[in-house]
Structure 1
């Protein structure tokens, strides 16, 4: 069984190097782990092993294949090639582990997107290393030389031995080994493979960083940066940055400065001596067609309809995009849809990106993101924890849930958990802000029995029944909350992340971005707001109702402000629609901009409005620039 033995020894070699690096960081930063128990801190080595296994499993795929399929007659040549291949990765890993220490000292994180960016300037980086990190540089190369030489000369790992195992036995072992490596690469038996979010097991940021794997972090950053490179934005067109910011400032009616960008102080229209809590309940795929107050069905969502008649409703609200991460960002950070991958999954926005939690933290607010599924989905857990939220509650945190579907615990379990959380805050005298995210309205639409009357003439597992069940959970939440002391001291928002499946013949099916939203707050009169709005507008309105003057860069306005504009930016795949009142400019990658009027839920070609088209281009360039400069904070 030398085949299996040599593969295992190679795995242990790499994992051992990762362990030593992690142990070094653990010892070096142990004094910063005082807020967690010693036992919890030791879990870094368990969770870290998972991150390490992902990388080592990738590395081992090619050696495993070659060892299995190569004939005996080329054994010497092949064993040397495999040893060289492993040595190559071994040296890279040793260097990365050494580079982690000075990088951590400088930035307080493991190597990330900055490490990738610096690689674009090798001459400057080499000069910096020689000047500032001579000793670290020297130690790294000494270790690389010694370990590399020992590995090459030593017979401890001898791939040539494998070829003395019969060809048939090697082929028989190949499939099981590849399955094991696949499991290692995936490192999860859940719906989604493990990612960097799985390293975030603690509330202590430093131990979470120690748990990560530096090579994995850099590889993830490289992939993200490549997928979202600056060249991608150029496919939409070019414009001087000065002009883009001037146009965006005028379009959104938000003052801009070179130092603070769009950060400004906004005075509340509802000033109070006791600031309120904020709860935002985001509904998965709840389109306007399902809710009466936004022009939809009358009887499908009775709880939304009832709440809508008694509170503030948005009847002309359009979502950022067609994916949950666009809506989550819009309602948690007040940002608009950026070109490429969503903000929640982008490398530069994993820390120091504005959120309602980071805004309210200085005022003593406790914050949470509450979800019924796995927090790693769309990197939600990592993004929320990295940007000011104190806690992420996910599927594993529910004890004995009443119903579990493919996507997590039921919405009823979610609202019960949330209510208990808010009660605890209230009993402790703590102010709180929370984002809740439902998951019922998602294929395969698995729903618990006995909660709603199934919609007639449609399958049980259908969109309409999922919407009806989501509405049941909304009603349940407000039934529970209304009995608690925190209820009158809280601003509640119920809003969709996006519509259900977006489709249509238009280049951008604008009508399928139409979503409902309502705000419940003590003393707020029943109001129907019919002007065009965005998710950042809804967020700004909810913040206005908290009763405090606050500073924020949110790209929208409270509906109670005279600054509020009728503007909406929608992203459909890689195409954008900028709507100002009922005129729409559509721009896309390498395509000629077009202008339409929006009437009767359709786009109608009209006389070209070059200024509106330029405004659309300016806005998406600004969004990209704010992200790249980490200026949205």
Structure 2
């Protein structure tokens, strides 16, 4: 009997899937090898390449097994003589769909790595919700790569269609007895491939995190597997922090609130465990107004005095006029994570930001909650479309009375992929603040910039370019800095200046990357408080974005109850501080320069961060059990508060 006939008989109705398995393994291995070559220096420094490639094939078998599970479960219904024509065409379409997804996601991987220094993950899924903004960004900034990726995907898909058309024409059913004898065995093999472990828990991406470099760990698995696991993980968002472990609630609360700045406060409301009363450090007959300028992607890497590129001359000048935080750290790598930290004082988790989670769309604390109760007019001002990342819903449900976005900006001078330019944004802001002052209304405005966002579009003729071509991140930052300087110069001349506190702070850095397990240097951001009667000061200790809200309220002269757990730097600006950082699946607690890093499914590690060299040095000695518990408590607390809906003021439901 010819060999091809033997193979046909041997693989029977599963021939499509055997070919698919071989093609998928070949494509993913080739892609991984290419990425390894591209990132060769980091891969070699991280570990043994052969081991990583073999582990990659193991992860690919998990992905293939997951895709095979549906047709395998349908086989008893379709893979017999009576319905075999339907089985043939279903199999043809199913394998092409799977391979199409594999090819498209792998082809888009290099650009994602360039932006986020990691394979596609949950962010990849989240951005698919906003096709207008995403497509506009890709078309304006990455047109050649977009068209090339589509062309490669279509070409490979056409070739695979021709290959599987031949398979469809020759595939044959098993005899009934052969089918029922083989089906349980194949089911067991596929199940074993998916589980990929004999341990108590099945394999997951954490099992393949075998190096100290997060990018290299992500390269070991495939991008489709990473995205698929992210989709699966969305089901468990409310308890996401428990991927690191659990603690009894009482112990968790005691450890999470065990900070020097909280020890003198009373936590008496058992249903609102973080609610506390704070006395303002400044007594004022009339509390100050507040304007928060949240700067898109303005990391310390762009600020000369923080060791970055000299593209923020306006901010460099302004820092001598107010409180300048030398070691402010973002809590995450997304704008919504910055929003939840700055505006709500909420700690990070491995889940999505609460800005996007369902239980936080009402009765969730923001600065607007406190200020709206005190008669402030509260607003959110954004140059793009406020529905992006669910911002409009979150703000309007939690103390923000007015949203001003692109639709409310009359005749903006320049509109790019992400909305009106920062100049247009600040023009609308200046108009709004002047109107509030004229009506003698106290005001709080959150102003969110967007010009420093890929594809880095901004109007011509405003700045002398830092470099060529025009649309680079350094030029965009310099333009954003110029627009900020113009706005602050204008605000200084307004009658509301002496009654208003301004915070300038980044949401996160532009790109969070590096060979460190947690790239601490890319969480470092500028933060400056100025305005009113504030005297210049440099804040030297480590600080977190969650410390800004209590500090601002205190400087404004507002005493009262809030659920904030951050530190009031107006009462102590010299004792050691801490920062909380969520990087993909890693959570880090940094106390001064010492870090404890939690990893899902793996032991915690200890490290020390060298600020001058911007280098994280892992310790050979594991953190103590108490250090791990203390760190675990910090990430369990926000998930607990969200799940129990206990992060709000006392008079809210």
TM range (shorter): 0.5 to 0.7
- Give secondary structure in 2 for the equivalent of 1:459: coil
1:296, distance to aligned residue in structure 2 (A): 2.6
State the partner residue of 1:276. Answer: 288
Does residue 248 of structure 2 align to residue 240 of structure 1?
Answer: yes
- Give secondary structure in 2 for the equivalent of 1:449: coil
State the partner residue of 1:479. Answer: 489
State the partner residue of 1:593. Answer: 604
RMSD over equivalenced CA pairs, Å: 2.2
1:550, distance to aligned residue in structure 2 (A): 2.4
1:263, distance to aligned residue in structure 2 (A): 1.3
1:556, distance to aligned residue in structure 2 (A): 0.7
Cα distance in 1 for partners of 2:559, 2:239 equals 39
Q: Is the 8 A contact 1:350 1:387 kept in 2?
A: yes
Cα distance in 2 for partners of 1:513, 1:442 equals 17
1:242, distance to aligned residue in structure 2 (A): 1.0
State the partner residue of 1:265. Answer: 277
Q: Is the 8 A contact 1:303 1:472 kept in 2?
A: yes
1:189, distance to aligned residue in structure 2 (A): 7.8
Q: Is the 8 A contact 1:340 1:574 kept in 2?
A: no
Q: Is the 8 A contact 1:294 1:314 kept in 2?
A: no
Cα distance in 2 for partners of 1:493, 1:350 equals 25
- Give secondary structure in 1 for the equivalent of 2:556: coil
Select the residue among 280, 288, 293 that pairs with 2:305. 293
Does residue 400 of structure 2 align to residue 386 of structure 1?
Answer: no
Inter-CA distance 231–559: structure 2 relative to 1 (3 Å threshold): closer
Select the residue among 171, 176, 191 that pairs with 2:133. 191
Inter-CA distance 509–225: structure 2 relative to 1 (3 Å threshold): closer
Does residue 611 of structure 2 align to residue 582 of structure 1?
Answer: no
State the partner residue of 2:167. Answer: none
Where do 1:75-154 residues align within 5 Å?
Answer: none
Question: Which sits farther off after the overlay, 249-258 or 614-623?
Answer: 249-258
- Give secondary structure in 2 for the equivalent of 1:495: strand
Inter-CA distance 572–241: structure 2 relative to 1 (3 Å threshold): same
Q: Is the 8 A contact 1:316 1:530 kept in 2?
A: yes
Q: Is the 8 A contact 1:445 1:463 kept in 2?
A: yes
Q: Is the 8 A contact 1:253 1:565 kept in 2?
A: no
Question: Which sits farther off after the overlay, 404-413 or 609-618?
Answer: 609-618
TM-score (norm 2): 0.62
Q: Is the 8 A contact 2:361 2:393 kept in 1?
A: yes
Inter-CA distance 188–231: structure 2 relative to 1 (3 Å threshold): closer
Cα distance in 1 for partners of 2:406, 2:454 equals 18
Does residue 433 of structure 2 align to residue 419 of structure 1?
Answer: no
1:484, distance to aligned residue in structure 2 (A): 1.3
Cα distance in 2 for partners of 1:374, 1:240 equals 42
Cα distance in 1 for partners of 2:131, 2:547 equals 40
1:268, distance to aligned residue in structure 2 (A): 1.2
Q: Is the 8 A contact 2:280 2:557 kept in 1?
A: yes
Q: Is the 8 A contact 1:352 1:386 kept in 2?
A: yes
Cα distance in 2 for partners of 1:232, 1:329 equals 17
Question: Which sits farther off after the overlay, 267-276 or 248-257?
Answer: 248-257
State the partner residue of 1:554. Answer: 564
Q: Is the 8 A contact 2:261 2:568 kept in 1?
A: no
Cα distance in 1 for partners of 2:497, 2:643 equals 40
State the partner residue of 1:408. Answer: 419
1:409, distance to aligned residue in structure 2 (A): 0.3
- Give secondary structure in 1 for the equivalent of 2:316: helix
State the partner residue of 1:446. Answer: 457
Select the residue among 606, 614, 617 that pairs with 1:604. 617
Does residue 361 of structure 2 align to residue 321 of structure 1?
Answer: no
Does residue 515 of structure 2 align to residue 519 of structure 1?
Answer: no
1:565, distance to aligned residue in structure 2 (A): 5.5
Cα distance in 2 for partners of 1:578, 1:442 equals 28
Q: Is the 8 A contact 1:491 1:520 kept in 2?
A: yes
- Give secondary structure in 2 for the equivalent of 1:190: helix
Cα distance in 2 for partners of 1:332, 1:295 equals 27
Inter-CA distance 461–313: structure 2 relative to 1 (3 Å threshold): same
Q: Is the 8 A contact 2:331 2:348 kept in 1?
A: yes
1:225, distance to aligned residue in structure 2 (A): 9.5
Offset from partner CA, 1:327-374 (integer Å, 9 cap, x none): 011111111112311110001000000001111112100000100011
Where do 1:322-361 residues align within 5 Å?
Answer: 322-361=333-372
1:230, distance to aligned residue in structure 2 (A): 4.7
Inter-CA distance 191–578: structure 2 relative to 1 (3 Å threshold): same
Does residue 548 of structure 2 align to residue 531 of structure 1?
Answer: no
Q: Is the 8 A contact 1:252 1:567 kept in 2?
A: no
Inter-CA distance 293–522: structure 2 relative to 1 (3 Å threshold): farther
Cα distance in 2 for partners of 1:189, 1:566 equals 41
Cα distance in 2 for partners of 1:293, 1:308 equals 10
Cα distance in 2 for partners of 1:404, 1:476 equals 19
Aligned length: 419
Question: Which sits farther off after the overlay, 316-325 or 522-531?
Answer: 522-531
Q: Is the 8 A contact 1:224 1:347 kept in 2?
A: no
Cα distance in 2 for partners of 1:301, 1:429 equals 34
State the partner residue of 1:112. Answer: none
- Give secondary structure in 2 for the equivalent of 1:532: strand
Offset from partner CA, 1:28-79 (integer Å, 9 cap, x none): xxxxxxxxxxxxxxxxxxxxxxxxxxxxxxxxxxxxxxxxxxxxxx9xxxxx
Cα distance in 2 for partners of 1:496, 1:340 equals 21
Inter-CA distance 269–230: structure 2 relative to 1 (3 Å threshold): closer
- Give secondary structure in 2 for the equivalent of 1:335: coil
- Give secondary structure in 2 for the equivalent of 1:545: helix
Cα distance in 1 for partners of 2:545, 2:422 equals 22
State the partner residue of 2:646. Answer: 631
Q: Is the 8 A contact 1:313 1:527 kept in 2?
A: yes
- Give secondary structure in 2 for the equivalent of 1:361: helix
Cα distance in 2 for partners of 1:266, 1:488 equals 24
Question: Which sits farther off after the overlay, 245-254 or 552-561?
Answer: 245-254
State the partner residue of 1:130. Answer: none
State the partner residue of 1:616. Answer: 631
Cα distance in 2 for partners of 1:225, 1:596 equals 28
Q: Is the 8 A contact 1:252 1:555 kept in 2?
A: no
Q: Is the 8 A contact 1:270 1:547 kept in 2?
A: yes
Does residue 376 of structure 2 align to residue 365 of structure 1?
Answer: yes
Offset from partner CA, 1:460-499 (integer Å, 9 cap, x none): 1001001101101111111221121111100000000001
Q: Is the 8 A contact 1:513 1:570 kept in 2?
A: yes
Offset from partner CA, 1:552-585 (integer Å, 9 cap, x none): 1122112122497511110101111111111101
Cα distance in 2 for partners of 1:525, 1:448 equals 35
